[in-house]
Amino acid sequence: MKVTLFIPCFIDQCFPDVGISVVKILEKLGHAVDYPTEQTCCGQPAFNSGAWDQARATARQALKVFRDAEVVVSPSGSCGAMMKVFYPDLFKDTPEHKEACVLANKTWEFSSFLVNKLGVTDLGASFPGKATFHDGCHGLREMKVQREPRELLKHVRGLELVEMKPNDTCCGFGGTFAVKFPMISTAMGEQKCAAVAETGADYLISLDSSCLMHIQGMFDKQGKQMKSLHLAEVLAHNL
Amino acid sequence: MSTTAVNFKESATQYCHDLDHRQRIKTALTGYEVKRDENKARFTSWEEARQIAAEIKYEVISHLDQYLELFEKNLKARGAHVHWASDAKEARDIICRIAQENQVKHIIKSKSMTSEEIHLNEALEKNGFDVFESDLGEFIVQLRNEPPYHLVFPSMHLTRHQISETFTAKLGSARVTEPEQLTMIARDIMRQKFCLADMGISGVNFGVAETGMISVTENEGNARLTTALPRIHVALMGIEKMVRRMEDLAIFLPMLATAGAGQALTCYNTLFGAAKLPGEPDGPEQFHVVLLDNGRTAVLADAEQRDSLHCIRCGACLNVCPIFRNVGGHSYGTVYGGPIGSVITPNLRGLQDWKHLSFASSLCGACSQACPVKIDLAHHLLQNRRNSVKEKPPAFEGLLWHGFSFVMQKPALYRLGAKVGGLLQPLHEFVKGSALDPAKGWTETRETPQIAKQTFTQWWKENRQ
Amino acid sequence: MNSREKILGRIREALQVKAPMPGHHGEAHAHPAQTNVDGIRHWLPKVGANWEQQKDLFAQNSVALKTEFKVVANAAAAVAEIKRVAAAGKWKRIAAHRTPLLTEVASGVGLDTLWTEKGYAKQDLESCDGGISACEALVAQTGSVMVTTQSSGGRALSVLPPHHIVVATREQLVPDLAAAFELVRRKYNGNFPSAMSFITGPSRTGDIERILVLGAHGPKQLTVLLIA
């Protein structure tokens, strides 16, 4: 299968290892990987801010770039949800609506792609350590991905996975929310950090680097020890 | 920014730093969560029950005029009076008029958020009636001159010590702090009020069209007493509260109790269809139902958000909302808080003045998941944002998104911008956290991620292309 | 045009445009849900197949609700129970209403009795230590007692005195709320009593620190005696 990657802008800029890990994993599984370099952003920041005209303008670039893709895979529940769940809404009553639905149908979040499309749960990965998993809200509630990352992590040799309590509460990032309402974002982040710390884990894993940016950012600011990793980085650890 | 938005941000900032408040709310909700999940599990399928409840409400709201007419017809056939109020003022006037025409002096109320919505108590007091809230939580906040903190639990934010102080100061009662003792103080006072009152005002949880009855849900028994002893019963009801028939309550009453209070069923669920009928030993001489629009027909006209009228006011969305739990019920500055309040308030009270409530959310979606009638709350917040921008494009931010989309449609420009950002980032270190820091909202409490020396795109170009 | 016409007019105009079907993010539901009584019953908690099981479920619910529930053999046994409660509480005065069964039971208790069925003074009822009433039904699924203004002594008898005692008979035990509605439909044939209430345990509140306190405004104690 030819797998076309959609790498969110902040992963491209700040966390390239996540993208590199995804490439390595898919190649190990024997698939051809494509990355159209003309991709930019899914448009979610504008969309969430209510600027849907500008979001559409941005998203048209994605429609163009992924037009010929067989499947589009993204290591992000948040950006994946934008394309898979919200593009049809965004382009409703426009000439691009059909095309948006086509793209939505062929978009996958990375862990869901591995488990549900490729039927793979054991990548032969190993990663010794104690970790906890953070479910980003869009991945969890919009893309309904919860079982899949845990299936994959179950087979990672040496990894001890401990669930946070509670394990389905928002970290407080929320995109532009983090800077528009920083006091609320911070309060939510504090509670997420406390829940993470309470597990006694050394590693925080998620399929959303945007959430990790916020949570790790708080740990770092507080001078507290924690290492955040994207799921793909864990799975590609010894590849 | 509107005054309401400024107030919200100030209040939110205060509450977000109040760790005592955070802990109190967490404690208050933890017990609820355990019981709620226990009772959800008793359903053979809570998810299927949600779909049924959603579809019943969809059916009723889609034919609201017919159900309201049937409801009115059946009530009037039993001698009840039905009044229609287009807005808050009209509703207040109707109720004041009923009180005046019947030489009412003392009024007792059971819990009604709708009566808060129309600011009924102030109007009644201005017109010379004395009004008592009989629900314990409402009574407490009434004494403190505070608005209710939560749809279902008005005094959730208070400690027993604060309540004790209020009782001592306002009632002259003995200084006690045990919840049982405090409750008994209120009980003793209220018993006399129930006997003394000329008029009882209740809310309505559901209006049953087929049999012309209102259904009132409570735990304390104060609504039953409010409607048993005074000679006039006035029930205030939002027009959207309809259900089709009594049997619909077989699913709504348990779901309301489970989602709202973590109970299988609340203590008293009462159907009222008439004033005292011939042969009955007691009950009011007159029964009035006041139907309130106050912006609901405008929400109805927005087909995209019409399902926000399905709300059964259970408060489940508030309980799961991390925003609510951190900013507290009073920060919303309006009668309906939490996710449902953030959805409907801009549409009931003015989009530009109240849009900030729809923006103050990380869109986590816990509310949509919790809603017993499957209202698409999180997506309605997005729709409100879109509508507010369309109605009045924000000046500065509008430019920002124009710039953003311009750059994002030109990959070369985007890559250039990223490269420049990477070069400038070391400079950011100098202003980080200071007043000059453009990213101060972030950097006050978080470290910023480093822009990588080699982006993924660069790696790809070098290694795979 | 008065407000009624204006409101109905606005509603009709609004409803000319159809809204999307409910469900997460407007997902099309495969087939519409069954929203009648059978459909509802399917997903509510299970009730037990026969009277014994339903009686046990009512008993189980009563424990959780802190309702005192006793099955007694006959009216005389009911009287004995009430006498026991009255003695323990040092009762002086009870309230009750006259039905053949209740007259027998309440008179048997031998206390000063306020009979309410023809009306009463509020302060008199307020001073009673206990209220004894009949009921329409006992609902197994929820542990509820259904009372109405015509079967159970009016509106206040079952809520004003601090201890409410219900005297029920075997055939009044029904499986669930829908069955209770069915019962009153059949019995009253469209001429419903002015008020019908489901009582589920003694009165309670959690308004102070979410701590459960019994006897907020309604009765602090609820006793259900089932003659079977």
CA distance B409 to chain A (A): 6
Report pTM.
0.96
Residues 84-143, chain C, touching B (beta carbon < 8 A) = 97, 116-120, 122-123, 126, 142-143
* Residue with the two structure tokens 């069209």: B209
Give the DSSP letter of residue C137.
Answer: E
Burial of B270 (0-12, 13-18, 19+ CB in 10 A): buried
Chain B hits for A40, CB-CB cut-off 8 Å, are 407-409, 411, 414
Which chains are adjacent to chain C, needing at least 3 Cβ pairs under 8 Å?
B
- Alpha carbons within 13 angstroms on the beta-carbon side of residue B186 total 36
Please answer whether residues A222 and B444 qualify as being in contact, where contact means their C-beta atoms are separated by less than 8 angstroms.
no
Question: Shortest CB distance from C200 goes to which of B184, B186, B266?
Answer: B266
Angle at which helices B46-62 and B64-77 cross, to 10° = 80
Q: Does C42 touch chain B (CB under 8 A)?
A: yes
pLDDT in tens, B229-256: 999 999 999 999 999 999 999 999 999 9
pLDDT tens, position by position, B95-143? 999 999 999 999 999 999 999 999 999 999 999 999 999 999 999 999 9
The three-point CA angle C120-C223-C168 to 5° equals 80
Find the closest chain B residue to A22 by CA distance: B456
> Is the confidence at residue C31, as pLDDT, over 80?
no
ipTM surpassing 0.95 = yes
Picking from A26, A137, A144, A183 by the largest number of B CB atoms within 10 A of its own CB, the best residue to mutate is A183
Residue B105 CB neighbour total at 10 angstroms: 12
Give the nearest chain B residue to C205 (CA atoms): B220
pLDDT score of C216 more than 90? yes
C209 vs B27: CB contact, 8 Å cut-off?
yes
Question: Which residues from C are below 8 Å from B51, CB to CB?
Answer: 22-23, 29, 33
Cross-chain residue pair B163–C122, CB shorter than 8 Å? no
Cβ–Cβ gap C25/B63 under 8 Å: no
**B38, B16, B36, B37: which is closest to B25 by C-alpha?**
B16
B388: distance to nearest CA of chain A, Å? 7
How many Å apart are CA A61 and CA A80, to the nearest integer? 15
Interface test with B, best of A5, A6, A7, A12 (most B CBs within 10 A): A12
How, if at all, do strands A2-5 and A71-74 pair?
parallel
CA distance B16 to chain C (A): 20
Q: Is C226 helix (H, G, I), strand (E, B) or coil?
A: strand
Percent of chain A that is helix, strand, coil (3-state, to 5): 50, 15, 35
Angle B214-B220-B226 from CA coordinates, rounded to 5°: 55
Q: Give the residue from chain A lying closest to B388, CA to CA.
A: A50
Which segments in chain A show pLDDT lower than 70? none
Mean pLDDT over C68-81 rounds to 97
Q: Do B179 and C20 touch (CB under 8 A)?
A: no
Q: C225 - beta bridge partners?
A: C70, C167
C-alpha span between A138 and A152 (Å, rounded) = 19
Shortest alpha-carbon distance between residue C5 and chain B (Å): 9
What is the identity of the amino acid at C30? A
Chosen from B247, B288, B290, B383 to mutate, greatest number of chain C CBs within 10 A: B247
**Distance between first and last Cα of chain A:** 21
Q: CA-based Rg of chain B, rounded to a whole angstrom? A: 26
3-state DSSP percent of chain B in helix, strand and coil, to 5: 60, 10, 30
CB contact under 8 A, C3 and B86: yes
What length is written for chain A?
A: 239
Q: Which residue in this structure is represented by tokens 């898919």? A: A26
Give the span between the Cα atoms of B74 and B287, in whole angstroms. 13
Write b or e for each residue in C182-217: b if 16 or more Cβ atoms lie within 10 A of its Cβ, otherwise e. bbbeeeeeeebbbbbbbbbbbbbbbbbbbeebbbbb
pLDDT tens per residue across span A163-186: 999 999 999 999 999 999 999 999
Residues of C in contact with B52 (CB under 8 A): 33-35, 39-40, 43
What ranges make up the beta strands (E) of C53-133?
68-72, 93-96, 112-115, 130-133
User: What is the C-alpha to C-alpha distance for residues C92 and B249, in angstroms, rounded to an integer?
Assistant: 39
Helix, strand, coil distribution of chain C in percent, nearest 5: 35, 20, 45
Residue B426: predicted pLDDT: 85
Q: What is the pLDDT of residue B430?
A: 82
Determine, for residues C97 and B54 on separate chains, whether the beta-carbon distance falls below 8 Å.
Answer: no
| Amino acid (1-letter code) at residue B7 | N
**Which residue in A45, A52, A180 is closest to B404 by CB distance?**
A45
Q: Token match 């959430």: residue?
A: A211
- Chain-chain contact of B247 with C37 (C-beta, under 8 angstroms): yes
How many of the other CB atoms lie within 10 Å of CB of C84? 10
Instruction: Please classify residue C64 by burial: count the beta carbons closer than 10 Å to its beta carbon, then call 0-12 exposed, 13-18 middle and 19+ buried.
Output: exposed
Residues of chain B positioned with their CB less than 8 A from the CB of C142: 254, 264-265
Interface test with B, best of C5, C6, C7, C150 (most B CBs within 10 A): C7
**Angstrom distance (rounded) from CA B337 to CA B361:** 13
The tens digit of pLDDT for each residue in B153-168 reads 999 999 999 999 999 9
B47 Cα to chain A: minimum distance (Å) = 15
Using pLDDT thresholds of 50, 70 and 90, give the confidence band for residue C195: very high
Query: b vs e for B118-153, b when ≥16 Cβ sit within 10 Å of the residue's Cβ?
Result: bebbebbeeeebebbbbbbbbbbbbbbebbbbbbbb
Strand boundaries in B45-95, DSSP class E: 81-85
Helix residue spans in B148-217 (DSSP H): 160-171, 179-196
The 3-state secondary structure of C21-40, one letter per residue: CCCHHHCCCCCCCCCCHHHH
Count of B-C CB contacts under 8 Å: 312
Low-confidence ranges of chain B (pLDDT < 70): none
Nearest Cα residue to A173 out of A162, A184, A158: A184
Q: Of the candidates C12, C46, C217, which has its C-beta nearest B134's C-beta?
A: C217
Q: Does C215 touch chain B (CB under 8 A)?
A: yes
Q: For residues C151-177, give the mean pLDDT.
A: 97
pLDDT interval class at C25 (50, 70, 90): low
CA distances from B373 to A2, B56, B151, B367 (A): 42, 9, 17, 11
Instruction: Please give the pLDDT value at position C21.
Output: 86
Q: Which residue has the tokens 């019409």?
A: B306
3-state secondary structure A48-66: HCCCHHHHHHHHHHHHHHC
Measured on CA atoms in the order B28, B30, B35, B40, is the torsion positive or negative?
positive
Query: What is the model's pLDDT at position C28?
Result: 54
Residue B173 amino acid letter = S
B60 vs B245: CA distance, rounded Å: 10
B437-459 pLDDT, tens digit each: 878 888 889 998 888 989 999 99
Give C147's strand partners.
C197
Model pLDDT, residue B96: 98
CB C50 within 8 A of CB C170: no
pLDDT number for residue C80: 97
| Whole-number Å distance between alpha carbons of B123 and B128 | 9
Residue B418 is predicted with a pLDDT of 85
> Residues of C numbered 16-35 whose beta carbons fall under 8 angstroms of chain B's beta carbons: which are they?
17-26, 29, 32-35
Question: Quick one: which of B320, B373, B321, B366 has its CA closest to B36?
Answer: B320
- Cβ–Cβ < 8 Å for A114, A150: no
